[in-house]
Every structure is written in structure tokens, then in C-alpha cells.
Amino acid sequence: MISTEKFIQDCLLVRSQSPLVHNITNYVAMNFAANSLLAVGASPLMSFYAGEMEEIVGIASALTVNIGCLDENEMEGMRIAAATADRLHKPWVLDPVGAGASTARTQICKELIGFHPTIIRGNASEIACLAGVCVEKSRGVDSSMASDDVVEAAKALAKASGSIVSMSGATDYITDGERVETLRNGDPIMSKVTVMGCSATAVTGAFAAVDSDPFTAALNAMALWGVAGEKAAAVSAGGTGTFAVKFMDALSTSDAAADALLIRQ
Amino acid sequence: MISTEKFIQDCLLVRSQSPLVHNITNYVAMNFAANSLLAVGASPLMSFYAGEMEEIVGIASALTVNIGCLDENEMEGMRIAAATADRLHKPWVLDPVGAGASTARTQICKELIGFHPTIIRGNASEIACLAGVCVEKSRGVDSSMASDDVVEAAKALAKASGSIVSMSGATDYITDGERVETLRNGDPIMSKVTVMGCSATAVTGAFAAVDSDPFTAALNAMALWGVAGEKAAAVSAGGTGTFAVKFMDALSTSDAAADALLIRQ
Amino acid sequence: MISTEKFIQDCLLVRSQSPLVHNITNYVAMNFAANSLLAVGASPLMSFYAGEMEEIVGIASALTVNIGCLDENEMEGMRIAAATADRLHKPWVLDPVGAGASTARTQICKELIGFHPTIIRGNASEIACLAGVCVEKSRGVDSSMASDDVVEAAKALAKASGSIVSMSGATDYITDGERVETLRNGDPIMSKVTVMGCSATAVTGAFAAVDSDPFTAALNAMALWGVAGEKAAAVSAGGTGTFAVKFMDALSTSDAAADALLIRQ
């Protein structure tokens, strides 16, 4: 079970420490991910320029790498950043967007996993693919599988990689290969707004920056994110434009103690 | 005249089939275009990486290519994607953003037209330029011409290219070179919010994915888009921030049968 | 003191002339900056493609260069654009995002300053770094210094570069090295929404396009921007999603004469 105390502690630490989180993310997500980080209290920096990767990782408290929009230059930045985080023992989060949708995506993910991501955060299709149980061609970047059907694969990926696996879906699953925690907050509208998953990855990076236990960091980040989504959905009447605005409002005005009461496992 | 029955059918097909639409679009538009596609019920994938273009076009139901932000790498991705769509007979939509504003823009458009776009969707200045009747230097990416003055050029472009031409403006014109349909929905505020045209292009891609007749696909997509704009403008009081949110709400909560009653030709 | 008459005049000129403003900006900011320009009445064009830089600068009334997301290709575009603006005596604004956060950022800024930016607009950490008084490693792209502590450095930078320096913060400072004007509008929430500074830079570009005096252009642009932020904050209840929407509403529905009464120096 999630610890209310640790959840509140992590939320408050992000606001008090305002960790610098370095993000290599896709062009679709950059603005929303940066705003998600500011909303929870962190300080975002978005850059994939190889010429500054080592320096930026060096001053950051955590790194997130999201492979959403591939590009030769960006992939080079990803490799240097991940290698630097690995070498400096800084927490880093891999978001394998669209793994399985193309050979290149699956390939760069496997390569990056070699740099020991602290946490791998993705949807069910992506996690299944990386676990080697991709039974059908992924439908682009949206999941074609339910997270409930991929729990064993998520555990296997965690064991094989040594990373915490954080899989979003109707139910979110966080596992280290042995333990499995679930989170049942959120709302179906979240799958109708782009880059919500990338926002989850960014927030996970902020929590990994302040919590040395990546399992609780991943769990608490997804709890905050899911509760914010649920609160926003309740006041959006199905409009995805309003939902996106209210989601950012919920993140930025979140009260950790009050939110803790809303977590459903 | 637009067929109410076919309009409703296309809208429902996009929601039921949720076609994967592959978009090569500019950095300004990526988020808004992806959200527009999700709002109408489609599944967006944004990528211009040459190393996965053939695979991604292969699994997508339609492609849109928007030349908004040029870049050598991105142009290479555009060429491969357009050539692949042409070879596989997949519907694809060209958005010639800023054609006429620079030699490079006009040039890449002409090159891409060689790959037989199913639909060319642009504003009056862009369409005029591609039809060879660009009488003045384009004012950047905003139109300096009224769509009413460019109808003959639009017809000529459709004939010469074999593409459906979908031209947005105070009045939208859709033509195959012979037939011309008009749409008079929308609101002037739509020209004060960036990438609205890119959203129209994305939505057109979704409709082309489910309707084998590109003329009706282009017409029905622009009808849905224009009605959504008009509904959003009615509740925005001139604020462009609110308009953008309400536009996405209108798209995501659209009711095809109710929207059909609002179409003005 | 700010001249109410000149403030109103500049605001109205941007709306009546709708100057084409060419922006090389980062991926996080592109959409928000373009919408900021449309909201104040200008016509934005976002491009960094080296192959069209000279042509685009040639047709634009002003240029803004924001180094937010570095990339070899983008830096090449920056150099050509800045050199062209310098040669053609077109007003251009440099936004040194994250100067001091990495060697590459500081380096490209110094290089671009060689092309005589009309206005340098940045936060306190960035201005201090460019003035050579960077005492600590910048905390990414967010300022770690208060603008009040950097006034002398801002003056020194203006003198050394020949540029107007426009420094944002709790108090904004605009200086030509001798004169110093202050603006005290705004709200702390503005530092919790990403790319607000990039929006200020874009708006400054629009004002520089219509006002041949860069000092008053910089001052009036920041006054409009700060008042809009203050008005938006008053109706956002701490929600950063709502704030961003209301900020764009405030810019797009601004009434120069009414706004002039709200300026606090």
C-alpha cells in the first residue's frame, strides 16, 4: 500500500527543493511537460543539444528521456545524457514512446536501457514490447493493450533491466519485478489528450530527484498525476481543451494532504 | 450541396475506426494538431524521422505533410513519407504553409506535389502561389488574399495536380477542378489563433482515412472544423486563449447530427 | 517615466500595421510565442531553416532570436538571421535563454551579440552572465538572482553591447546604459508558467517593428505584457493552466488606453 506520509513528504520536497529536471522530450510534449514540472514545483530545462548534454545533466537533479520524436541529433543527445546520468548516478526516467511502432523506436529503447534507467514509464503496449511479448504491431503511440494484461511482462522487464517499471493505463502498475503496486485514479478522458503520458514521465522525474527510493518516487508521482487527472475530469464535461487546462490547475494547486485522501489503489 | 447523411457518416466513422493518422507537421502545430485528431476520435502519430518513415506510413491509415518549419532532416522525412503514401495508395494531405514566402517553401511544395497528394489544403495566398498566380510576396504564413479571389486558381491547381484543393478563408472552397463547394462557417477570431489551419489539415487527414472519396472527405472535415470554430467563438468573447480551449472542447464533444444543422454553405 | 501617449500609440500601431515578426525560438515556446504575437495584433512567422533565413528576414519587419533549444542547424539559422538583420538595419531582439547554464549557451550568446541586437531581453541570471558577473552556475533556465541585484550589470551590458537591455523580474528594468526605467506590474505566478519570458521577447519584437526608438519599444512592450499578466493572475486563483489561457485573453482583448492606467513604475 502507498504510504500517505511518504506521498505527502515527496510532494512537499518537490515544492521546497524545486529540483532542476532536465528533459529530452518530443516536440509535441515540450510545453505541456515543462508546465507540468513547474506546476508541481520543479524547475524544468528542455534540451537535447549534444554539445551541452554532459554539463546540463551535471547540474540537474534528474533526467527524463522521452523518445517521442526521433531525430539523429536528438538520439545522439539521448545517448550522451543517459550515459552521463548513469555515470554520475543521477536518477533518470525513460519513456519509450511508441516502442514497437517502428524498428528504430524499439532499437533506441533497447540501447538506452543499457544505460540503466532508474525508472521506465510507459503504456501497456510499450512495456509489453520492451519485455519482448509484443504480439501485434503497436497502434502508433496509443496503447492497443490493457495494462491488466501486461503485469507479468512489466515484472519481467523490471527484473531484466533492474529498473522500476511504471505502467500507466486504466489501472497503473508500479513494479520492481517483485512488488507490484496499483493505482486506480484517473479518467478515460486522459487518453484523449495528447502527451498526458509525457507529463507523467516529467512528474516522475521530479519525484525521483527528491526521493532516493525510485519505487516510492514512481508510485507517488503517478498518484499525484492520477488524482490531478481525476479532479480535472470532474470539472471538464468531456471537453478535452478544458480538461488540459484544469489538469494543469489541479497539479499547480494540489494540496498533498487533501490529495492523499483521494488516492485509490 | 453537402450531404448531411455523408457528413454524419464520416464523423461517426472517424470515432468508430479511430484511424491512425501520421503527421509531419511543424513545431508550432504539433500539440494542437495531435489534440485536434484525438478530439475528433482519431489516433495521431507525429514523426518526421527518415529512419522510420516507410514503416510508419505503412501502419497509418492516412498521412498529412505540413511544411511549416523547414529543416533538411524534416524535408527528407517529408519526401520519403509522401513517396511511400503515393506508392501504397494511402490518402495523404499536403499543407503548403507559407508557400510563396520563400523560394525554399515554394520549391518543396512543388516537389511534394509530384507525389500526388490526395488533398492540398491551404489558405488563399498559398493556393494562389502553387497555382502560379502569386502576384505579390506572401506576407509570411498569414494569407494576404481573400479566398473569394482565388477560386479560379484553386480550380486550376486541382486540375493540374489531380488533387482535391481545400482552401480555407472567410469562405472555404473545396474543388476537384470542376465541382466547387463552399462552406461559410467559422469566425474571424480563427485567424488570430496560430495553427488553426494546421488543425484543419490534421482533421482532413482523419476524414480521408475513413472516406474513400477525397472530395467528400475534405468537405466534411472542413464542415466539422468550421462549425467547431463558430461554436467556440460564440463563447469566447474575443479572448484567443479561451477560444483555443473552447475550440478543442467543441471538436471533442461534437455531435455530428446536431453539427450538421449548423453547416452553412 | 513611461509616456502614456507613446504606450497607446505603440499598441495601436502594432494592431494597425500588423508587422510580420520572424521568430527563431525554442520548441517549448513556439506555439505560445506565435499566439502572443497574434494576440497583440502582429503576424508571426516561426522558422530557423538556414535555406530561407535571408529571404524571411528580408520580408519581416523585425526578428527575435531565442536560444532556448540549441541545435547545430538552428544555431546556423540564428547566425544568418542575425547577420542579415544587422546588415539590413532591421530591429532584432536577442533572448539569451539559459545563458550561463552551459558553455555552449554563453558562447552562442556572445557570438550573436556581435551582430548588434537592438534589444537584449532576459532574466536576471542571464543578463548577469552576459555582463560577466555570473557568480554562480545558473539554475537552468529559471533565474537564481533578483533583478534588483543586477541593475548595474544590466547597465554595463547595455553600454558594452550598444543594445537596449530589457530585464524581467519582480521589477522589470529597461536600460540603455544611462537611463533606467522600471515596471512593477506582473504577478509571481508568471514564473510558474513556462515560456512567459519568450512571450515577452516576441511581443518586444512586435513593438520594435513599429517604434523606431528601441528604448520606448522595449518599455512599452514590457508594460503591455506585465499588465496582461497581472490582469490574468487576478482571475486565475493560482491555477497555472487557467492563468496561461487568461493571459492570452488579456493580450488579445487589451485596450491600450485602459491598460495605460494600470501601469506601475
Q: How many CB pairs under 8 A join A and C?
A: 106
Backbone angles phi, psi at C55, to 5 degrees: -65, -45
Answer whether C59 sits within 8 Å of B32, measured CB to CB.
Answer: no
| Closest residue in chain A to residue C98, using alpha carbons only | A45
The pLDDT of residue A227 is: 98
**DSSP β-ladder status, A164-168 and A180-183:** unpaired
Check whether A132 has a pLDDT greater than 60: yes
Q: What pLDDT shows up at residue B261? A: 97
**CB proximity under 8 Å: A 49-108 to C:** 49, 51-52, 55-56, 59-60, 73
Give the model's pLDDT for residue C66. 97
- Torsion over CA: C84, C87, C90, C95 (sign): positive
Report the distance separating Cα B78 and Cα A33, nearest Å. 27
Residue B136: Cβ within 10 Å count = 11
Q: Which of A135-144, B137-146, B181-190, B197-206 is the least confident region?
A: A135-144
Contacts of C71 in chain A (CB under 8 A): 48-49, 73
Q: Kindly report the average pLDDT of chain C as a whole number.
A: 95
Whether residue B19 has pLDDT greater than 90 = yes
Cβ-proximal residues to A255 (8 Å cutoff; 6+ apart), any chain: none
Quick check: C81 and C24 in contact, CB under 8 A?
Answer: yes
Q: What is the pLDDT of residue B137?
A: 58
Other Cβ atoms closer than 10 A to A242: 25
- Is the pLDDT assigned to residue C136 strictly greater than 70? no
Q: Which residue has the higher pLDDT, C3 or B134?
A: C3
Q: Which of B1, B85, B93, B83 is nearest to B42 (CA)?
A: B93
Would the pLDDT of C138 be above 90? no
Beta strands in chain C (DSSP E): 20-24, 43-46, 62-66, 92-95, 119-123, 164-168, 172-175, 180-183
Can you tell me whether residue A181 is helix, strand or coil? strand
CA distance A98 to chain C (A): 21
**Contacts across the A-B interface (CB distance below 8 Å):** 107
> Cβ(B44)–Cβ(A194) under 8 Å?
yes
Predicted confidence band of residue B147 (pLDDT cuts 50, 70, 90):
confident
Sheet of strand B62-66, all strands in order from the earlier edge strand to the far edge: B43-46, B20-24, B62-66, B92-95, B119-123, B164-168, B172-175, B180-183
What one-character DSSP code corresponds to residue A89?
T
Is B141 close to C245, i.e. CB distance below 8 A? Answer: no
Q: B149-172 pLDDT, tens per residue?
A: 899 999 999 999 999 999 999 999
Range name among A45-54, A65-74, B208-217 with the lowest pLDDT average:
A65-74
Q: Which of residues 210-229 of B touch C (CB under 8 A)?
A: none
CB–CB of B59 and A137 under 8 A? yes
Residues of C whose CB is below 8 A from A44: 140-141, 194
- C-alpha to C-alpha distance for B77 and B87, rounded to whole angstroms: 15
Residues of B with Cβ-Cβ distance to A73 under 8 angstroms: 73
**Min Cα separation A45/chain C (Å):** 6
Bridge partners of residue A180, in order along the sequence: A175
> CB pairs below 8 Å between B and C: how many?
106
pLDDT tens track for C72-84: 899 999 999 999 9
Distance CA B182, CA B180 (A): 7
Cross-chain Cβ contact C27/B27 below 8 Å: yes
Three-state DSSP at A24 gives strand
pLDDT band at B188 (very low <50, low <70, confident <90, very high): very high
In whole angstroms, what is the distance from residue B10 CA to residue B215 CA? 12
Task: Write out chain C residues lying below 8 Å of B70, CB-based.
Answer: 47, 49, 51-52
Query: pTM for this one?
Result: 0.97
B23 touching A (Cβ < 8 Å): no
Specify the pLDDT at position C33: 98
**Are the CB atoms for B46 and B63 separated by under 8 Å?**
no
pLDDT tens digits for A189-223?
999 999 999 999 999 999 999 999 999 999 999 99
Q: Which of C31, C194, C242 sits opposite A38 (nearest CB)?
A: C194
Q: Is A123 helix (H, G, I), strand (E, B) or coil?
A: strand
Residues 226-255 of C with CB under 8 A from A: 237-242, 244-245
Contact between A25 and A234 under an 8 Å Cβ cutoff? The reply is: no
Q: Does position A138 have pLDDT exceeding 60, yes or no? A: no
Question: Whose CA is closest to B65, among B56, B73, B74, B54?
Answer: B74
Any chain A CB within 8 A of the CB of B34?
yes
Cβ atoms of A227 and A263 within 8 Å: the answer is yes
Which phi and psi (to 5°) does residue C44 adopt?
A: -85, 145
CA distance B105 to chain C (A): 8
CA distance B30 to C94: 25
Sheet harboring A172-175: ordered strands across? Answer: A43-46, A20-24, A62-66, A92-95, A119-123, A164-168, A172-175, A180-183
pLDDT-derived band of residue C234, with 50, 70 and 90 as boundaries? very high
What is d(CA C166, CA C182) in angstroms, rounded to the nearest whole number? 10
For residue B121, CA distances in Å to A262, B47, B93, B117, B214 come to 47, 20, 7, 10, 12
**Per-residue DSSP letters for C69-137?**
S--HHHHHHHHHHHHHHHHHT--EEEE-TTBTTBHHHHHHHHHHHTT--SEEEEEHHHHHHHTT---S-
Q: A172: which residues sit within 8 A by CB, 6+ positions away?
A: A147, A166, A182, A183, A184, A185, A186, A222, A226
Q: Which residues of A touch B60 (CB under 8 A)?
A: 140
Question: Percentage of chain A surpassing pLDDT 70?
Answer: 98
Strands B164-168 and C62-66, how do they pair? unpaired
Does the pLDDT of residue A52 top 60, yes or no? yes
Q: What is the pLDDT of residue B242?
A: 98
Contact B98, B105 (CB under 8 A): yes
Q: How far apart are CA C154 and CA C168, in angstroms?
A: 11
* Residue A82 to residue A108: CA distance in whole angstroms: 12
C47 vs B contacts (CB less than 8 Å) = 69-70, 98
**Grid cell of B106 as nine digits:** 515554394
Q: What is the pLDDT of residue B247?
A: 98
Cα angle at B170 between B168 and B171, to 5 degrees?
Answer: 65
Mean pLDDT, rounded, for C60-77: 94
Grid cell listed for C208: 520594435
From the list A69, A105, A139, the residue facing B46 with the nearest CB is: A69
Residue A12 binned pLDDT confidence (cut-offs 50, 70, 90):
very high
Q: Which residues of C touch B104 (CB under 8 A)?
A: 49, 51-52, 55
Arithmetic mean of pLDDT over chain A: 95
Q: What is the phi/psi pair of residue A134, to 5°?
A: -75, 100
Backbone angles phi, psi at B173, to 5 degrees: -120, 130
pLDDT in tens, A60-102: 999 999 998 898 899 999 999 999 999 999 999 999 999 989 9
Task: Give how far C49 is from chain A: nearest CA, Å.
Answer: 16
- Nearest C-alpha neighbor of C68 from the set C25, C30, C103, C101: C25
Across residues B210-223, what is the average pLDDT? 98
| pLDDT of the residue at C145 | 83
Q: ipTM of this complex > 0.85?
A: yes
Residue among B131, B199, B181 at smallest CA distance from B159: B131
Of the candidates C27, C56, C248, the beta carbon closest to that of B101 is on C56
Q: What is the pLDDT of residues B92-135, one digit of tens each?
A: 999 999 998 999 999 999 999 999 999 999 999 999 999 998 76
B59–A140 CB contact, under 8 Å: yes
Say whether A30 and C28 touch across the interface (CB within 8 A).
yes
